[in-house]
Amino acid sequence: MNLPPMGRDGRILATTALVLIVIGILAVYSASSFASMRVFGNSHHYVAGHLLRILFGLASALLVYAAGPRAWKAVAWPLYAFSIACLIPTALSLSPIAPVVNGSSRWLVLGGFRFMPSELARLSYVLLTATLISKGQISGRSPRGFLSLVALAFVPAVLTVSQPDFAGCLYMLAMMAAMLYISEARFSHILILFGVIALAASAVLITEEYRIDRVRGWINPEAGVSDNNFQTQQSSIALGSGGLLGRGLGHGRQQRGFLPEVFSDFILAVIGEETGLIGTTLVLSAFCVLLWTGFRIAERADDIFGSILAGGITASVALGSFLHFAVVTRLLPATGITLPLISWGGTSIVFTLIELAAAARISAEARR
C-alpha cells in the first residue's frame, strides 16, 4: 500500500488524536470498572470492547487515508443513500433490528454488529456537500443550491428526531448551518432558515412533556434534584470535588453508581473528578489544537473539495466536543452526546477516526 506521507499539519492532527485516545482509554477504564465488575464480574469488560473499537477505527481510518479524494467523491451519493436507508428502520422502531432502548431506537442492530446511523449520516452529508460543490453541480450562494443543501440535511434530521433523538437532530441541523457557512451561503438565507428551525424546534420541544421538564430542570437547577436534572447535578458535583489536582486516577466516586452513562455521555465529569482542573484543561487544550489544525488544513487545501470537506469534518468534531463540554458543565441540558475520541461508544470512535484520516490525507495532498 503506497501511502502519501503526512504533512506537518497531518502529523499534528494524528499526534493530538492519539493523545486524546490514550486519555480516553484511561478514563473509560476508570469510569466503567465499577459497572463492569457489577454486571460481568470483571473490571475490564467495557474497556476491552473500547480497545477493539479503537483498533477497528484505526484500520478503517487507514483504508480511508489510502483511498484518497477520488474514491471519496465516487462513494458520496451511495454513502448518503445508505445512511438514509439505515435511518429509516430506527425512525420506524423496527424491532429487532432497531430496538427501543431508554425510549429511543437510535441503534441499528444486525447480527452482533451495532451502530448509530446518525453518525454516518453527518459524515455522508459533509462528504456529499463537498462533492456537489466541487463539481459545480450546486452553489451555496444560489437559492437552488441553498435549498438543496438544506433538503439533504433535513431528510436525516427528520428521521433522527423520529427515533426520537432530539439532540441528534439538532446536531445534524447544526452541521447543516456549518456547511452552509463554509459553502458561503448568503447570510440573509441563513438567518431566515434559523428562524424556521427555531420555530420547528420549539414545536418539537412542547410535544413531549419530558423535554419540557428537562429544560425546566436545566433553567432552575436549584429548585431541587429530579430525574430531569439528576445527571447534570451529579456531573457538577464530580467536577467541583475534583478541585485543582483531582482525587487521583481510579479514586473517583461518581462512577460508583451515582452518575448514569458515566463512561459515555458524562466522561468529562470523571476526568474532572479524578484529575481536577489540570486534567480538564489538558483535554480542552488538546481539542483546541485538534480543531485549530483541522481548520488550518481546510484553509491550506489545494482545491475546494478538500477545503469544504476538511472544514466540515473539523466543524463536526468541534460541535460534538462543545456539546459534551456544555452538558457536563451544565451550560446545556443533558443531550446524550459523547465526547469524540474519549467516550465509550464504537460508532463515534470509528467515524471520528475516519474523519480525521480524511483531513490528514487532504493535508498530504496539499503538499504535492
**Cβ-defined contacts of 81-86 (< 8 Å, 24+):** 82/120, 82/124, 83/117, 83/120, 83/121, 83/123, 83/124, 83/125, 83/156, 84/121, 84/155, 84/156, 84/159, 86/117, 86/120, 86/121
Residue 259 pLDDT exceeds 70: no
- Highest mean pLDDT range out of 64-78, 131-145, 202-216? 64-78
Residue 274 pLDDT exceeds 80: yes
Grid cell of 222 as nine digits: 436549584
Domain that holds residue 53: 8-366
pTM of the complete model: 0.89
- Per the domain annotation, does 129 fall within a domain? yes
- Per the domain annotation, does 128 fall within a domain? yes
pLDDT of residue 338: 86
- Per the domain annotation, does 82 fall within a domain? yes
With both helix axes pointing from N to C terminus, report the angle between 117-134 and 346-366 in degrees, rounded to the nearest 10.
20
- pLDDT > 90 fraction of the chain, expressed in percent and rounded: 39
For residue 273, how many other CB atoms are within 10 A of its CB? Answer: 30
- Per the domain annotation, does 160 fall within a domain? yes
- Per the domain annotation, does 2 fall within a domain? no
Query: What is the pLDDT of the chain when averaged over all its residues?
Result: 84
pLDDT of residue 219: 63
- Per the domain annotation, does 302 fall within a domain? yes
Which residues contact residue 136 at a Cβ distance below 8 angstroms, ignoring those fewer than 6 apart?
none
- Per the domain annotation, does 309 fall within a domain? yes
Pairwise CA distance, residues 50 & 114, whole Å: 14
DSSP state of 3: P
pLDDT of residue 186: 83
- Per the domain annotation, does 1 fall within a domain? no
Q: How confident is the model at residue 133 (pLDDT cuts 50, 70, 90)?
A: very high
Q: How many domains does the chain have?
A: 1
pLDDT of residue 130: 94
pLDDT of residue 66: 93
Question: Where is pLDDT greater, at 145 or 229?
Answer: 145
Mean local confidence (pLDDT), 104-113: 80
Among 77-81, 117-121, 190-194, 320-324, the range scoring the smallest mean pLDDT is 190-194
pLDDT of residue 243: 80
pLDDT of residue 191: 84
pLDDT of residue 36: 82
Helix, strand, coil percentages, rounded to 5, for the chain: 70, 0, 25
Mean local confidence (pLDDT), 241-247: 80
